[in-house]
Each structure stands twice: as C-alpha cells, then as structure tokens.
Chain A
Amino acid sequence: MTNKTRYQLQNVQKRQNANFALHIHRLDVQQGDVLALLGPTGAGKSTLLRLLAGLEPPTAGDIQFDDAPLLAAEMTLATRRRITMVHQRPLLLGGAVRTNVEYGLRLRGGQNRTQKVDAALDQLGLTPIAAQAAQTLSGGQTQLVAMARALVLEPEVLLLDEPTAHLDPAHVALAEKAIRQICQTRQTTIVWATHNLFQARRVANRTCLLLNGLLVEAAPTEAFFTNPAEPRTADFVQGRMVY
C-alpha cells in the first residue's frame, strides 16, 4: 500500500528574529512516517514543528497538508484537531492528572472518554498518579501526562518536541512503545524532535538534520546514520561536529 503525502514543504522560510531564520528548501512527510528531527539547540526544530502544527504561519513558502495549503490564520477547527503537538515545556492545567489527560476529549465532546483515558494512563504508567494534582508533578511526570493527553486524542499527526527529555530509561521505553503502537494501529504521522541519536535510530523510519535553520539532509534512517549524503550529517552522527 502506498501512503499518501501528508506534508509537502517548499521553500519554507520563517524569520524569528534578526539572527535566526528557518529555511526548508523541500521536505515531504508521508502518512505513517515517523520522522526524527535532529539538530543542536536553536537549529529550528521547534519552529518547524510549530509551522507543521499551523500554530504559526511561515514568512514565505508553501506548506501543503493533505494536498491543500496549510494556512495558519484560516485553518479550520476540524483540520486543527487532526494535528496534535506535545510541546517542549508542556503546561498542565489545574486539577488532577486524569482531568488533564481528558481535556482534549472533553473539548471534542466524544464518547467512551473514561475508557480512553484509562487506556492512555495505563499505557504510560500513569494510573497510580491519576488522581494526583497535576501541578505537583515532576518534570518527567509532566512530560508523560502531556504525552498521554496527546495520545488519547488519536490524532492523524502527532508532533513531538523532545517529549522524553526528562524521562528515565524505563519511561522512555514506555513512551516509545506507545508511539510505535499508535503509529502501527492508526497510521499516525509522527514528527519527533530529539537530541538523542539512538532514539532517532530506534523509532524513526526517516531522519533529518537541521543546522542553523537549514535542512541539511532528510533520508531514510538507516541511510542517514550509515551512509549520509552530506559531510555535515556524517560529522553530526559520528560526534565530530562541535556546534
């Protein structure tokens, strides 16, 4: 089965300030892809994710989402709800962990909320703290709750901004398993920004490198790590690059 193209980016630019601009000459993301975004801090990973989420418009260029222009200002609620993003510093709402995980479902007014929330909590090992006040959680627990409240929505596109940065290895494994599962069962498209090269290799079928706002290379993960086309990619994956 051939997957359809979820995103097509052409000559996309986003100027954040006088010193930084993101520039993507061309990037395609297919349905069911797990695309890892690699790059040093400030390379533009979060900016790219925000553009893909339609939270910000590009300064120039064209982003196609399912063969239609993704225009942040004109995005319908229905389109916006197909895309969910887990932010780098997730903000939880007042109330219990369960209430936070249920939030997006409540907005949509769907049915079987309790079962869906229970499943998401269980999937990420959050059941024991389901009744705990969300504002009392550690950084790692906060990230897990943020991931659970995104996964429970079963979005068509899941954008993850360093979602496991504060997690211990056991919970990283749980999170990766949950992401793999949603990808397999629902053909979810995932774009995952991470600093962890091993993680990118574990979870992604495609990987790309951003440096100073430029997309250096995007390739199938194995080729990216074993036979990169760009010398800068080779330097990056072999740890020779000093930012």
Chain B
Amino acid sequence: MTPFSAADFWSILRLSLWISGTAVLISSLVGIPCGVWLGMSRRRGKRLLAAVVHTGMALPPVVVGLVLYLLLSRSGPLAFLDSLFTAQAMIAAQTVLALPFVVGITMSAVAAAPAELPLQLRSLGASDWQCRWTILREARHGVLLAVAAAFGRSISEVGAVLIVGGNIQGHTRVLTTAVVLETGKGNFEFALALGGALLLLALLVNLFIVGFSGGRPPA
C-alpha cells in the first residue's frame, strides 16, 4: 500500500479548488447574465427555455463525461485541443454541469421580484441597464445561492471528471476521484480524511458566501 503523503493531499486539494473554482467562475460569468435575462424576459418561449435549463440541472455527470470524452478523444471533432485527461477537460465538464444551476437559480431569484418593480424603477429614472442591475442586486441572495449550488455540484462531482480527467496523480486527481481510488485500494482512513476535507471545503466556501451576502444565508 502506497503511503499517502501530506504533499499529495495538498496537491489534490489545490487542484480540486482550482478546477471547481474555475468552473464556477466561468459558469457564473455566463450563467448570471443569462439567468437575469431569462428571469426578466416576458417573451414567448421563456417557459420552454426555463424547462430546458431545469432539465440541465438533472444532467447525469457520467453522460456529460462520456460526451466530452467522445468530443475530445483522438477521433473526436475537438481532438485538436489535445485536452483529454487534463485539468482543462475537467473544468469543461464541471462548467457544463454547474451552468444550469447558475442560470436556473438566478432566473428564479430574479423572476421572484415583484412584477411591478421594473416599472417603479423606471418611474424613478432608471435606464434599462440600471433597472436590470438594481433587480440583480435585489435578488443577490438568490444569486449567491446559485453560486453556492454550482460550487457544490462541481466540487462533489466524480463521474464526469473521472472519465475526462483520468485520475492521474499530480495532474488530474481531485478529492472525489482520490476518494474513489483510496476506497478501491481499501485505504478507508485516507478516503474518509479526503471526504472530510471535501465537506470542510464546501463548508468554508458556503461560510464565505454567507459573509459575502451580509451575514444572511442565501435563501
């Protein structure tokens, strides 16, 4: 049995944070504006789009991993990226999985604002952009919840990152894939320690988000 060093542990933790943090950042940058637009839109087809987004929340990670694998593999259309079994591929997989959470929860938070709010803001002299920004600020607790949910989805994901990352030590091994590996080896103490670290990380991120929302838990 290979001993599990502290250096290995910190390397896995750093990589997990880097991959999930980047995925959440990308999905937030793309997803929050989309969620605001969808939440404020009164256009036809909004319900269909909302249904698509909500379906995206139920995307099976292994299917996402498989599709990305096929796209990035040597015979796939994105083979030129040469990113299979890299952290980039894992970030892509987690972004795909986290994006529907950011869009969907942001959309719900924005749509929950009173229907007359935009009208009242306009009658105080708000431009269209100022109106959107104010509504986003009013819905910020819901938006932070979206970011927290996206981080939870990303950091705890195992199926897709295992397929596209390959669980290579020092390169693509993250907390969840390490737990799978250590469990398979019968290294239950390490597996449990890694699981504890995973939970602690999620707790710290959520505490940070609560602090960011002015001490009020996102709801």
- Chain A residues engaging chain B, CB cutoff 8 angstroms: 50, 53, 55, 77, 80-81, 83-85, 87, 89-91, 93-94, 103-104, 107-108, 149-150, 153, 159
Q: CB-nearest residue of chain B relative to A85?
A: B123
Most central of A83, A91, A153 by chain B CB within 10 Å = A91
Chain B: minimal CB distance from A153 (Å) = 7
> Bound state CA distance, A130 and B130, in angstroms?
24
Contact in complex: A80, B125 (CB < 8 Å) = yes
User: CB within 8 A of B125: which of A81, A89, A91?
Assistant: A81
Which of B2-10, B97-105, B113-121 sits within the interface? B113-121
Q: Is B138 an interface residue (CB 8 A)?
A: yes
Chain B: minimal CB distance from A50 (Å) = 8
Contact digits for B122-147, partner A, Cβ 8 Å, 1 yes 0 no: 11111100100010011000000000
**How large, as a class, is the contact surface on chain B?**
10 to 19
Contact in complex: A107, B124 (CB < 8 Å) = yes
> Bound state CA distance, A107 and B129, in angstroms?
11
Q: Can you identify 11 A-B contacts, CB atoms within 8 angstroms?
A: A53-B123, A55-B119, A77-B125, A90-B120, A93-B137, A93-B138, A103-B134, A104-B124, A107-B126, A107-B127, A150-B124
Chain A: minimal CB distance from B54 (Å) = 27
> Bound state CA distance, A168 and B134, in angstroms?
31
Q: CB-nearest residue of chain A relative to B127?
A: A77
Contact in complex: B116, A91 (CB < 8 Å) = yes
> Bound state CA distance, A80 and B119, in angstroms?
12
Q: CB-nearest residue of chain A relative to B125?
A: A81
> Bound state CA distance, A46 and B117, in angstroms?
16
> Bound state CA distance, A94 and B127, in angstroms?
19
Which residues from chain B contact A85 at a C-beta distance below 8 Å? 120, 123
Which residues from chain A contact B130 at a C-beta distance below 8 Å? 107
> Bound state CA distance, A80 and B138, in angstroms?
23
Contact in complex: A84, B116 (CB < 8 Å) = no
Which residues from chain A contact B117 at a C-beta distance below 8 Å? 91
Which residues from chain A contact B116 at a C-beta distance below 8 Å? 87, 89, 91
| Contacts beyond the supplied A84-B125, A91-B116: 9 A-B pairs with Cβ under 8 Å | A53-B123, A77-B127, A80-B122, A85-B123, A87-B120, A91-B114, A93-B137, A107-B130, A149-B124
Most central of B117, B126, B127 by chain A CB within 10 Å = B126
Chain A: minimal CB distance from B116 (Å) = 6
Contact digits for B165-204, partner A, Cβ 8 Å, 1 yes 0 no: 0000000000000000000000000000000000000000
Chain A: minimal CB distance from B147 (Å) = 18
Chain A: minimal CB distance from B131 (Å) = 9
Contact in complex: A87, B123 (CB < 8 Å) = yes
> Bound state CA distance, A26 and B134, in angstroms?
37
Which residues from chain B contact A83 at a C-beta distance below 8 Å? 123
Which residues from chain B contact A90 at a C-beta distance below 8 Å? 120
Contact in complex: A93, B134 (CB < 8 Å) = yes
> Bound state CA distance, A80 and B124, in angstroms?
8
> Bound state CA distance, A128 and B125, in angstroms?
27
> Bound state CA distance, A172 and B124, in angstroms?
22
Contact in complex: B124, A153 (CB < 8 Å) = yes
Within 8 A of A (CB), among B73-132: 114, 116-117, 119-120, 122-127, 130
Which residues from chain B contact A150 at a C-beta distance below 8 Å? 124
Q: CB-nearest residue of chain A relative to B126?
A: A107
Most central of A81, A85, A107, A108 by chain B CB within 10 Å = A107
Contact in complex: B114, A103 (CB < 8 Å) = no
